[in-house]
């Protein structure tokens, strides 16, 4: 995974192969993940074009389709959770919005692992 100093739209225009956006952290802060060799090639191309990139992780391509292989296992592991309404408002980085915490069931946590982090959207909703 690499952090790229570009907007999500500009990153989408540069993506190829199996690369995916794993997080949108700000207006010009996006994390890209996928096959390590493809991520390395993407980072090198960005650097050649003068775009700042920073390696985030090598271990797993979290928040991408690569997590599908453990999604069902995760959902089964947390299936016994009983979400409830919180007294404190929660802005979710899965939805990017105010979330009714009573909906944070096994499927929510599977989505949390699989879908891109929407940190920028959650912060904008908070504002």
CA atoms of 114 and 116, how far apart (whole Å): 7
**What φ, ψ does residue 118 adopt, rounded to 5°?**
-110, 55
Q: How many domains does the chain have?
A: 1
This prediction's pTM? 0.90
**CATH number of the domain encompassing residue 102:** 3.40.366.10
Tens of pLDDT along the chain (127 residues)?
Answer: 999 999 999 999 999 888 999 999 999 999 999 999 999 999 999 999 999 999 997 677 889 998 888 888 888 898 888 999 999 999 999 999 999 999 999 889 989 999 999 999 999 999 9
Range of the domain at 16: 2-126
Measured CA to CA, the distance from residue 122 to residue 114 in angstroms comes to 17
């Amino acid at each position: 995974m690499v952090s790229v100093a570009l907007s999500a739209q500009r990153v989408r225009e540069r993506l190829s192969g199996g690369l995916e956006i794993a997080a949108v952290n700000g207006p010009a802060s996006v994390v890209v993940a996928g096959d390590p060799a493809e991520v390395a090639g993407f980072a090198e191309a960005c650097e050649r074009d003068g775009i700042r990139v920073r390696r985030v992780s090598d271990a797993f391509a979290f928040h991408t389709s690569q997590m599908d292989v453990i999604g069902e296992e995760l959902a089964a592991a947390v299936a016994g959770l009983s979400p409830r309404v919180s007294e404190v408002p929660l802005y979710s980085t899965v939805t990017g919005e105010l979330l009714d915490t009573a909906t944070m069931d096994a499927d929510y946590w599977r989505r949390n692992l699989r879908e891109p982090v929407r940190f920028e959207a959650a912060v904008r909703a908070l504002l």
